[in-house]
Amino acid sequence: QVQLVESGGGLVQPGGSLRLSCAASGGIFSGYVMAWYRQAPGKQRELVATITSDGTKIYADSVRGRFTASRDNAKNTVYLQMSTLKPEDTAVYYCYAGQSIRAYWGQGTQVTVSS
């Protein structure tokens, strides 16, 4: 059973930056595909960024060039560096870990972009 704990959310002004972290425990972290999703009020959860076990990264069009995903397999942690934040980035951000038919979610961390 994999457990995921996100941290790093908060309130930031437009144009600002935040770094989210997701610490994993209970599994072989290096073998999992890791991803960040977000869900804004009244909207469906959407995929923001994926980072595979070999480090390949895929980004949603809406965040490409502004967000950077990374992973540290030695620390069992995945990160999401968010820059040039916009009000439309406001959402609860969720960490995801998947391998074959297994999928795990974190509890989410709120990111609010507002002046």
Q: What confidence tens digit (pLDDT) does each residue in 18-42 have?
A: 999 999 998 788 889 999 999 999 9
* Range with the largest mean pLDDT of 1-5, 77-81, 98-102: 77-81
C-alpha span between 105 and 88 (Å, rounded) = 23
Q: What confidence tens digit (pLDDT) does each residue in 88-97 have?
A: 999 999 999 9
pLDDT of residue 26: 85
C-alpha span between 77 and 42 (Å, rounded) = 29
Residue 76 contacts residue 23 (beta carbons within 8 Å) = yes
The mean pLDDT of the chain is 95
